[in-house]
Structure 1
Amino acid sequence: MDVKNTFLYGDLEEVVFMKPPPGCVLPRPNAVCHLRKSLYGLKQAPELGITRLLIYVDDIIITGNYLEKITKLKEFLHTSFKMKDLGRLTYFLRLEVLYLPTGIMLTQQKYAHDLVVRAGLTDDKVVYTPMEINTKYKEVDGEPFNDPTLYWQLVGSLVYLTMTRPDISYAVQVLSQFMINSYRIDHTTFLRLIRYIHGSMSQGVLFRSDSSIHLEGYTDANWAGCPTSRRFITGWCMFLAHP
């Protein structure tokens, strides 16, 4: 569900005046507007939403096992806010929801495609592993990357992609270690990961309908695995509804 005019629901506690927008007819020259409600772009607007228990969010997902209760909740929300029912969940915060005969699959295919384009990949060459095996990366290898800001933005985007792509988690973790000092070798590693994503955009997380909701986790660590600090590296993986 989508809440219309989200920021207009917040009551202002401070006295805020606003310069009239173009085309607004005022009773006298040089008059100003006294705001009674919050507006989008006002510095108080996000704070008002948080302090009111997040009731003024823009998009809402309602889920549950009882359709009747979901319907009553939506009717209750309609009495307090102007809302639009978007129907069955298919797309939310760049998260795509696919309903398959075997279960529900979460992907970020469009988000991954936009990331590949943003990274400037100009060819169709792909690789089948996110990183080279048994490669040790150091902070002083190679020359400094010419655009560190772009590197930061792209790695941050990759972190969000790991929500449905746990197969790239370790590679993203390695790239995140070079956020302060990014070198060209990191760029080479980054491009390899982008090529891997380019060749596997349709991958995601499948929640099978025939699997029980069983949570299972594994963890392990090596000894002095980091080539820079000689600290050990811990790895872990979690399985939910895994057959």
Structure 2
Amino acid sequence: MVRTHDGEFLVLLVYVDDILITGTPLSQIEEVKRSLDTAFTIKDLGNLTYFIGIEVLRTANGIFLSQKKYIKDILSDAAMLDCIAAPAPLSCGLPHLRVSLHILKYLKGTLDHGLWYKADDTDLQVTAYSDSDWSSCQFSSRSLSAYAVFLGSNMISWKTKKQHSVSKSSVEA
């Protein structure tokens, strides 16, 4: 839920039994927390540090988002906490089980990777980049396309998608 009024905003993000509340007026955040506590008896965990598998580290210079704990949990479930990290997400020609194990090894090498959002980025210009290739998927021969959108130097949206196949008649047209 998002509420805006007189240049201020309040955001409520709910996932199962976890609620994230943020916004510009602290008084409105406190009011929502009091109302929720009256209706449901909630536990305030303070500033955001972890939500839906994403760790949040806040500094004076910005915010760092990562999935270190989530990746460690996956590695632990697969009994691969002590594996040697792989430098790339995938190598060509692997059967499915070997691919899965290789991906876990790659994830181990990315434990400290994440997204950095600068606190002092005053550039509010939106910039977008896109890319595509021709039939790069070795299994389906389908093309891939991707885009990334930035607000200043901070990435705010991205996607990679395998394209639908192109029929011969539409290529010749």
Shorter-chain TM range is 0.5 to 0.7
2:51 to 84, 92, 96: 92
2:75 to 116, 119, 123: 116
Partner residue in 1 for 2:158: none
The size of the alignment, in residue pairs, is 141
1:192 CA displacement:
2.5
8 Å CA contact 1:208, 1:241 repeated in 2? no
Amino acid at match of 1:230: S
Amino acid at match of 1:86: L
Instruction: Give the structure with higher Rg (CA).
Output: 1
Partner residue in 2 for 1:105: 64
8 Å CA contact 1:207, 1:241 repeated in 2? no
8 Å CA contact 1:127, 1:199 repeated in 2? yes
Over the aligned positions, Cα root-mean-square deviation in angstroms equals 2.8
In the superposition, the TM-score normalised over structure 1's length comes to 0.49
In the superposition, the TM-score normalised over structure 2's length comes to 0.66
**Residues 203 and 68 of structure 1: CA distance in aligned 2, closer, same or farther (over 3 Å):** same
Inter-partner Cα distance in structure 2 for 1:118 and 1:56: 23
8 Å CA contact 1:107, 1:203 repeated in 2? yes
Of all paired residues, the percent bearing the same amino acid is: 35
Q: What pairs up with 1:61-210 in 2 under 5 angstroms?
A: 61-121=20-80, 123-132=82-91, 135=92, 185-210=95-120
Secondary structure of 2:97's aligned partner = helix
Inter-partner Cα distance in structure 1 for 2:102 and 2:67: 19
Partner residue in 2 for 1:14: none
Inter-partner Cα distance in structure 2 for 1:91 and 1:128: 27
Structure 1 unaligned spans of 5+: 1-53, 138-183
The structure where helix makes up a greater share of residues is 1
Partner residue in 1 for 2:149: 238
1:56 CA displacement:
10
8 Å CA contact 2:75, 2:81 repeated in 1? no
8 Å CA contact 2:128, 2:150 repeated in 1? yes
The structure where strand makes up a greater share of residues is 2
**Residues 64 and 56 of structure 1: CA distance in aligned 2, closer, same or farther (over 3 Å):** closer
1:57 CA displacement:
5.0
Inter-partner Cα distance in structure 1 for 2:23 and 2:144: 39
8 Å CA contact 2:85, 2:106 repeated in 1? yes
8 Å CA contact 2:14, 2:20 repeated in 1? no
8 Å CA contact 1:63, 1:70 repeated in 2? yes
Q: What pairs up with 1:15-94 in 2 under 5 angstroms?
A: 58-94=17-53
Amino acid at match of 1:73: V
* Cα displacement string for residues 165-205 of structure 1 (whole angstroms, at most 9, x for unaligned residues): xxxxxxxxxxxxxxxxxxx6233333232222212212111
Inter-partner Cα distance in structure 1 for 2:85 and 2:70: 18
Structure 2 unaligned spans of 5+: 1-12, 155-173
* Cα displacement string for residues 143-167 of structure 1 (whole angstroms, at most 9, x for unaligned residues): xxxxxxxxxxxxxxxxxxxxxxxxx
